[in-house]
Each structure stands twice: as structure tokens, then as C-alpha cells.
Amino acid sequence: MKKLVIRNIDQGALMKLNKIFKNTFLVLFACLVLSACATSKKSTGQMQGDVYTGTDTVEYLASGVPDRVFFATNESVLTTASRETLRKQAAWLRKNSDITIVLEGHADERGTREYNLALGERRANAAKDYLMTYGISSNRISVLSYGKERPVDSGSNPLAWSKNRRSVSVKAN
Amino acid sequence: MRNLIILFLIFIAPTNALGLIEVDITRGNLNPLPIAVSPLSIDDESKKSFEKTLKKKDIGSEISKVIEKNLKTSGLFNPLDKNAFLQAPDIAHLKPRFEDWNLIKAQALITGKVKNVDDKLRVEFRLWDVLAGKEMMALAFTTVPNNWRRVGHIITDKVYERLTGEKGYFDTRIIYVAEEGPKTKRIKKLAIMDQDGANNKFLTLGNELVLTPRFNPTSQMVTYLSYFRNLPRVYLLDIETGIQEVVGDFPGMTFAPRFSPDGKKIIMSFAKDGNSDIYTMDLENRIVEKITNHPSIDTSPSYSPDGKFICFNSDRSGYQQIYVMKSDGSNVKRISFGNGLYGTPVWSPRGDLIAFTKLHKGKFYIGVMRTDGSGERLLTENFYQEAPSWSPNGRVLIFYRETKTDDKGEGFSAKLWSIDLTGYNERLVDTPTDASDPSWSSLLSN
């Protein structure tokens, strides 16, 4: 969503600029894009861009092994921090080879219910694929999407939504 | 249900071929037609017997209240205050004194009579054009007494059709998800009620999460998503028998189900390995067909009323947009091109429009567009609302709306709302608990 808004602003700005500064427009446009990117990537303490980076809701599968990773709005791409968390999970799963897990994928409340079910499934599978590349067999991992049905934070604000966009690894046995 | 209810329709007088008064339905509720709904008259003996069986003091008056509420809710009629009525109900039903009804500015008048005939409820009613001083319609019904509310709905449907030229939507039901408890641990049950909120009934106990129930347009079957045993799957439920069964044998989550217009297939999404595609299953021969094949999310499918096309939601362009394809999955075309994201497309029963949810700059809209994507009209804007469902005549949309919580994360609620296609007459639909995911049935009687 955020990306779209920025794009709209840019188009509006672009049209005006086209009329006024035909020659300098490219330079100005580049500046605008850069500043837009800079603001959207801004860290607000608990958020990087709109990905949650805090630890309020995080639980641990074992000491030093966080149970969840977070996503940007409408995204299922794993961040650097998410990949690090998943590598820790993979190492722990390799050590405890009898354990099976369910990856529970979630979305925030700012989307339609059916799309969010699909998005939750896509997020959980992004985590699953990463665990598999680190040697965890797919038959030890099942996936369950809750869409927007099980938020951890009942707030209606960007921080609450960032906590709710998550994939949580839950011990199944 | 339909089999249990036997309605006898008897024409007691031929109706006028030429329309006298007419309600202009294209303009919404700007000038609702003043209509007088006289309490249906009832003889003392019938009154007493129905009071015993139905626990209603004056069933004639109760039926007229059902009609009155329906007409008012439609936004097209303005039922007048009964205290201003000068003529007694029984006499008005025989021959209205039109100048009396004219005096209180009524343009149309409904009168009627209720009688106990062999322990059945016999209701006759007449619709009068006050200005022309003429009878427009007269009908009688006989049914089991417990159906008295349905009689009120059927009368409303007849009056509505006579005055607007379109079929009504009052003898219908809504299936929805009843919600309780905190936002983080919501308990959800399937529930069903009459279109006007009466006869609310819960169909599941709330032990497992249930979502998105939808009526079969041709029977009393419902399809929905249940998390029974933590396996989200599409189920079928027969409302009459309570029998449930899982739809198909898919190795993963199935969701977003709907029936085909002939009621013989279910169309839904199946998610596997992070990819959701659209499938159909034939309910007779159980044959499963894959309709879309794309690495993006394809969901929220809905058939056109002739069954030849499917509209659906996909993010193959990078963001959620609405697409239309032939029912075999060929000729996929994107139809939504406005600013923002589009979801939950539903094809109108008339075939000419697609209703949708739109998210733009942090606001949610319910809107309609033509089936080629042109003529987009947004009907209502809110913090969060989605999932429109059409009334069977394609006039009204019902959807759900959620409130923003406060700083402490409290104050969450989910409610059903309805709005006219014109964007007028937005109304809260009363439910005993919080509610979401409404689906409108077809007309129960025709």
C-alpha cells in the first residue's frame, strides 16, 4: 500500500514538474524518489520500514531461538533479520530431529479476508522454503494460514499491524 | 425448508394491466412513496385461536408490522403513522374511503384480512391506488400459522414488484458469521436469520473457526470454510438436515468457496506451496478441475449468472486486482484499473455489474463497476468494510464493517450493513451478536 501511495504522489508531482521545469525535471524526479525511499525505510524504534523489529510478541522455541518472523505490508519476502531467525530455527531443528513444527502464517487486518488467507499461506511457505534450504525435511514442517483471524495485537495502528504480519513456528509434538 | 412450507397462492381478482402509481427505483430514497399499511383485520374467533398457538395478541396487526418494516427498510417507501388512519381495517379492506386516505397523503394503501381456516392461516390482501381510487392487486394465501412472518414478507414482495416493476427480496434469509470475544481470540459461529433479522439461529457451536458461508442459489445448502481439526477446508452444509461434508480431497487449504449459478458446482481456491489457484468441483460426479494456473494468488471467484464467466481476485500484476475470464479459465482479462487495491468481486444476479471491495489511501470502499471494468462507482467509504453480497434482485448489497480500536486496542466491533445500489439508504442490519461475512439467499418462494 505504502508503495502505491508514493507512486501516486510521484505521478502528480511529475505532471506538474513536466510543465514547469522541462529540463531539470529528471534531476528533481530522482531526488523525489530518493527522499520517498528514505522516508519509507525509516526506522521508528520498533519498525524498519513497516516491518516489525521489536521483541514484544516474540516467544522462544529454545534459548536464543525466536519463534517468529515479520513481513512488510502485502509482502512475503524474508528480511535479513527473518533469515537469521530462520537459520537459528533450522540449527535447532537439526539438533532436535524428532521435533515437527507447524508454520502459522498471518496477515494484518487491512486486507480482505480471502486474500489474507492466501497471503498467510504464502508467508508461511516462504519460511518453510528457507528452512528446507537449511536441511529441514518438508515432512517435518506443515503450514497453516490464519489470514487475519488471529492477531496478536488488537490495535488499529501501523505498529500493531506490523506485529500481526508474521509467520510463527509452533512445535507440533 | 421449501418442501415443508406449502403456500397456496390464489388470485382473487385480476390485476390491472396498466401501472397506475409507480416507484422510480433509479433515484434511491429521495422521494419515498407514502404508503398506508392498514392492520390486517381479523375476526374474534380467529384472533383467539392464533393467540393460543402463536402467542401473539393480534396476528393481523403483527403481519402488517412485518410489511411496514420491510417497506421502510427498502428506502423506497414511507409507511405512514397508523394513528392517523381514519378508517377501520375491516371496512377499508372491503372498500376504502379514498378521500380519507388521500387526506393523510397516502398514495398507496395495503389492506387485508386474516382468518383461521381448519387451523391454517388464511391471509388475503389488497393493494390500492389512493389517487386513482382503484384496486391494483389482490391475493390470498393459506399456510401453517407458524409461517406468519413469511406471509408478511411475501406480501411485501408482491407489493414491491407491483409498484417498482422488479422482483422483491423480502422472503429471503441471510447466512453470516456470528462473532464474540476479544479480537485476538474471536469465537465464530455460523448463523442464519430472516432478511429482517427475525428467527436468528446458530448453526455451529463455535468450537472451530468458521468463515465465508455462501448460499446455494437453488437449494438450502451452504458452503463455507471451517478450521475443523485445524485443517482449513471448504465444507458443504445442508441447513435442513444439519449434515456436513468436506468438499473434495485436497492436500492443503481450500477457501473462498461459492456455488455456480445452477448450484451444481463449487468454485474455490486451493493453496499449495505458497500459491493459490482457482478450482471447481462438480457436486454430482466429484470431478475436480483446475481453472487458473498462475504463480500469483488467485482467489475470491464468483460466476456470472449465466455461468459463462468468472470474476476473481488476483495479484498477478503485483497488487490485488479484479479479473474476468471464461468459465474454463481462458481469456483472462484484468478489469480494475483505478487507484488502489481491489478485492472480493461478486457478479450481480442481473449480470450487468460486479460489486467489489476497494482499498485506497487507507480507506475501504464498497463499489460497483460494469463487467468490463468501466463505470466504477464507490457507494460507501469506511475504516474497514468488505465482502459485499447481492440481494437476489440485484438492488441491495449487504456487507460487513469493522471498527477501529482505541489506543488500548479496545472497542472492536463487526456489524452487518446494507446499502442500495444507488449509494443511498445505508443501514445497520441488526444481529444479536457481532457479525461478518453475510450471504443473501435467493427468494424462498416464487
Give pLDDT tens digits for B248-263.
Answer: 989 999 999 999 999 9
Which pTM was predicted? 0.89
Q: What is the pLDDT of residue B31?
A: 84
Q: What is the pLDDT of residue B355?
A: 98
Domain residue ranges in chain B = 8-164, 173-440
Exposure pattern of B215-244 as b/e (b: 16+ CB <10 Å)?
bbbeebbbbbbbbbeeebbbbbbebeeeee
pLDDT > 70 in chain B, percent: 93
DSSP secondary structure code for residue B411 in this structure: -
Rounded to an integer, the average pLDDT of A133-150 is: 97
Chain B touched by A156 (CB under 8 Å): yes
In this structure, of A87-101, B10-24, B246-260, the range with the lowest mean pLDDT score is B10-24
Q: What is the pLDDT of residue A114?
A: 98
Domain residue ranges in chain A = 2-40, 48-171
C-alpha cell at B413: 466491533
Exposure pattern of B298-324 as b/e (b: 16+ CB <10 Å)?
bbbbbbbbeeebbbbbbbbeebbbbbb
Provide the CATH topology of domain B173-440: Neuraminidase (2.120.10)
- Quick check: A152 and B184 CB within 8 A? yes
What is residue B10's three-state secondary structure? strand
- Closest residue in A to B187 (Cα) is A149
In this structure, of A137-151, B11-25, B143-157, the range with the lowest mean pLDDT score is B11-25
In this structure, of A9-18, A81-90, B184-193, B404-413, the range with the lowest mean pLDDT score is A9-18
Cβ proximity of B364 and B357 under 8 Å: yes
Nearest by CB to residue A125, choosing from B255, B273, B362, is B273
Q: What is the pLDDT of residue B445?
A: 83
Q: What is the pLDDT of residue B1?
A: 42
Q: Give the best residue of B186, B273, B356 to mutate against chain A (max A CB count within 10 A).
A: B273
Homologous superfamily, domain B8-164: TolB, N-terminal domain (3.40.50.10070)
As a whole number of angstroms, the distance between CA A161 and CA A109 comes to: 7
Q: What is the pLDDT of residue B181?
A: 96
* Residue A1 clears pLDDT 80, i.e. is over it: no
- Closest residue in A to B211 (Cα) is A113
As a whole number of angstroms, the distance between CA A57 and CA A160 comes to: 10
Nearest by CB to residue A145, choosing from B232, B340, B384, is B232
Q: What is the pLDDT of residue B82?
A: 94
Report pLDDT digits (tens) over B197-247.
999 999 999 999 999 999 999 988 999 999 999 999 999 999 989 999 999
Q: Give the best residue of A78, A156, A157 to mutate against chain B (max B CB count within 10 A).
A: A156
Report pLDDT digits (tens) over B383-393.
999 999 999 99
Q: Give the best residue of A114, A123, A131, A159 to mutate against chain B (max B CB count within 10 A).
A: A114
Chain B touched by A84 (CB under 8 Å): no
- Quick check: B344 and A114 CB within 8 A? yes
As a whole number of angstroms, the distance between CA A1 and CA A7 comes to: 10
Mean pLDDT of all residues belonging to chain A: 83
* Residue B25 clears pLDDT 70, i.e. is over it: no
Q: What is the dotted CATH code of the domain comprising A48-171?
A: 3.30.1330.60
Residue among B232, B25, B363 at smallest CA distance from A102 = B232
- Closest residue in A to B384 (Cα) is A110
* Residue B23 clears pLDDT 90, i.e. is over it: no
Q: pLDDT confidence of B446, banded at 50, 70, 90? A: low
Residue B223's H or E segment, with its range, is strand B221-226
Chain A touched by B226 (CB under 8 Å): no
As a whole number of angstroms, the distance between CA A127 and CA B212 comes to: 27
* Residue B370 clears pLDDT 90, i.e. is over it: yes
Q: What is the pLDDT of residue B13?
A: 44
Rounded to an integer, the average pLDDT of B270-276 is: 97
Cβ proximity of B440 and B174 under 8 Å: yes
- Closest residue in A to B227 (Cα) is A146
Report pLDDT digits (tens) over B109-137.
999 999 999 999 999 999 999 999 999 99
Cβ proximity of B345 and B354 under 8 Å: yes
pLDDT > 90 in chain B, percent: 91
- Closest residue in A to B226 (Cα) is A146
Interface of B with A in 247-286 (CB under 8 A): 252-253, 255-256, 269, 271, 273-276
* Residue B366 clears pLDDT 60, i.e. is over it: yes
Nearest by CB to residue A112, choosing from B344, B404, B405, is B344
Cβ proximity of B253 and B271 under 8 Å: yes
- Quick check: A4 and B387 CB within 8 A? no
Q: What is the pLDDT of residue B21?
A: 67
- Calculate the CA B140 to chain-centre distance: 25
Q: What is the pLDDT of residue A43?
A: 60
Q: What is the pLDDT of residue A25?
A: 42
* Residue A31 clears pLDDT 80, i.e. is over it: no
* Residue B424 clears pLDDT 50, i.e. is over it: yes
Residue among B83, B59, B79 at smallest CA distance from B70 = B79
Nearest by CB to residue B255, choosing from A8, A76, A114, is A114
Chain A touched by B410 (CB under 8 Å): yes
Q: Which residues contact B52 (CB under 8 A, 6 or more apart)?
A: none
Which residues of chain A are within 8 Å of residue B269 when distances are taken between CB atoms?
114, 117-118
Task: Respond yes or no on whether ipTM tops 0.90.
Answer: yes
Rounded to an integer, the average pLDDT of A104-121 is: 98
Q: pLDDT confidence of A42, banded at 50, 70, 90? A: low
- Closest residue in B to A150 (Cα) is B184
- Quick check: A156 and B405 CB within 8 A? yes
Q: pLDDT confidence of B407, banded at 50, 70, 90? A: confident
Q: Give the best residue of B176, B299, B316, B322 to mutate against chain A (max A CB count within 10 A).
A: B299
Nearest by CB to residue A1, choosing from B252, B276, B359, is B359
Q: What is the pLDDT of residue A120?
A: 98
Residue A109's H or E segment, with its range, is none
Cβ proximity of B396 and B419 under 8 Å: yes
Residue among B422, B263, B256, B275 at smallest CA distance from B345 = B256
Chain B touched by A120 (CB under 8 Å): no
First to last CA, chain A: 38
What is residue B33's three-state secondary structure? strand
Chain B touched by A39 (CB under 8 Å): no
* Residue B11 clears pLDDT 60, i.e. is over it: no
Residue A37's H or E segment, with its range, is helix A25-40
Cβ proximity of B444 and B2 under 8 Å: yes
- Closest residue in B to A5 (Cα) is B361
Q: pLDDT confidence of B9, banded at 50, 70, 90? A: very low
